């Protein structure tokens, strides 16, 4: 390391959400020598580092679609280099990643969903509506599809659809209409210009209900990165990868993600026996046992200390039966 280059202070750029609770829930599955934990959203490696310190014989597989995150996490986790494998992939490729490493099944799986604080803080990536930047929003900056392309090429109906479905935006029709009208006057390439259009299209009576661009930017980010489609594929694959007794924890930060996780967990934690069957046959027994009641929130102390924890919804389950 050059004399004038200081090591990255990760505590200054990211605080892991519900870290102690995540350790508590996954811990019972990770104590045996050779246990494997898959961190499907490695990010800056905050959760990963805590698990590697807490379980000296744990092997960690870290997945992330963002090459910059993998590079920084590799720096952070360098002291554990002999116990980690970092893989550049989207988390719906978990089965392929494990197969490439010769791993048949794992004891623990963690998802910390959504955008990372690092990605928001890198202004040039265009995730934030509060700072002017190119309309990019790619979590993997080696991919080609950007938010600018959506704004330039999607029909008014498709813009309306993603704003409504992915942003839960009440003014989806109005915003889509104004964007299509404005792009006829010239390309919309920067976040600042898009924010101006949205603000101009927002009726005064809505001006006090949060930043008008928040939900539009969320919708664009989800569409650019196919986040919900990826999650719908990933959760079943992750559950399938668990050994019996293995555990999965998912941290979701918005209702659309949490709904997908809730649906899959509840389906796999329910008996498949037909109604009226007098005896539940083994093949109908639930595959999962839910470890928390509903979706668990961060406590008041953490919410006050770390505002990013305010929207989090945690769900956790244990694999109790393997389906052949």
Q: Annotation-wise, does 91 bind a ligand?
A: yes
Provide the 3-class DSSP secondary structure of residue 142. Answer: coil
- Going from the C-alpha of 109 to that of each of 37, 57, 74, 171, the distances in angstroms are 6, 16, 19, 38
Sheet holding 313-319, edge to edge: 84-88, 59-64, 36-39, 106-112, 242-252, 313-319, 288-290
Q: Measure Cα distances from 112 to 117, 152, 281, 315, 320 in Å.
A: 12, 31, 35, 11, 23
Identify the residue whose tokens are 């990013």: 308
CB atoms within 10 A of CB 310: 13
What residues pair up with 232 in beta bridges, in sequence order? Answer: none
C-alpha distances (whole Å) from 291 to each of 96, 182, 269, 300 are 27, 50, 10, 21
Cα–Cα distance, 317 to 324 (Å, whole number): 19
The annotation status of 166 as a binding-site residue, yes or no, is no
112 is in an annotated binding site: yes
CA distance 176 to 162: 10
Q: At what angle do helices 227-241 and 255-268 cross, to 10 degrees?
A: 30
Say if residue 34 carries a ligand binding annotation: no
Pairing of strands 84-88, 106-112: unpaired
- State yes or no: 46 annotated in a binding site: yes
210 is in an annotated binding site: no
Q: Which residues does the annotation place in the binding site?
A: 45-47, 64, 91, 112, 119
Q: Which residues does the annotation place in the binding site for S-adenosyl-L-methionine?
A: 45-47, 64, 91, 112, 119
């Amino acid at each position: 390391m050059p004399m004038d280059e200081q090591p990255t202070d990760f505590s200054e750029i990211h605080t892991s959400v519900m870290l102690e609770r995540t350790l508590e829930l996954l811990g019972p599955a990770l104590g045996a020598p050779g246990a494997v934990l898959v961190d499907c959203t490695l990010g800056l490696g905050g959760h990963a580092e805590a698990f590697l310190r807490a379980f000296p014989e744990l092997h960690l597989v870290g997945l992330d679609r963002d090459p910059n995150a993998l590079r920084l996490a590799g720096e952070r986790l360098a002291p554990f280099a002999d116990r980690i494998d970092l893989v550049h992939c989207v988390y719906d490729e978990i089965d392929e990643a494990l197969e490439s490493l010769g791993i048949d099944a794992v004891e623990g799986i963690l998802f910390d969903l959504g955008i990372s604080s690092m990605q928001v803080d890198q202004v040039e990536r265009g995730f934030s509506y509060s700072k002017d930047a190119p309309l990019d929003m790619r979590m993997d900056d080696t991919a080609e599809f950007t938010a600018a392309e959506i704004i330039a090429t999607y029909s008014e109906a498709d813009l309306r659809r993603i704003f409504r479905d992915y942003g839960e935006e009440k003014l989806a029709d109005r915003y889509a209409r104004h964007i299509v009208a404005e792009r006829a006057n010239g390309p919309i390439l920067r976040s600042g210009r898009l924010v101006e259009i949205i603000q101009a299209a927002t009726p005064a009576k809505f001006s006090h209900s949060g930043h008008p661009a928040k939900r539009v930017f969320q919708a664009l980010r989800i569409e650019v990165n196919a986040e919900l489609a990826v999650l719908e594929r990933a959760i079943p694959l992750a559950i399938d990868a668990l050994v019996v007794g293995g555990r999965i924890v998912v941290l979701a930060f918005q209702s659309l993600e949490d709904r997908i996780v809730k649906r899959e967990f509840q389906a796999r934690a329910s008996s498949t026996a037909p109604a009226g069957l007098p005896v539940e046959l083994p093949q109908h027994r639930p595959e999962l046992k839910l470890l928390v009641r509903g979706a668990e929130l961060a406590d008041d102390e953490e919410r006050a200390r770390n505002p990013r924890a305010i929207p989090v919804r945690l769900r956790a389950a244990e694999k109790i039966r393997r389906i052949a």
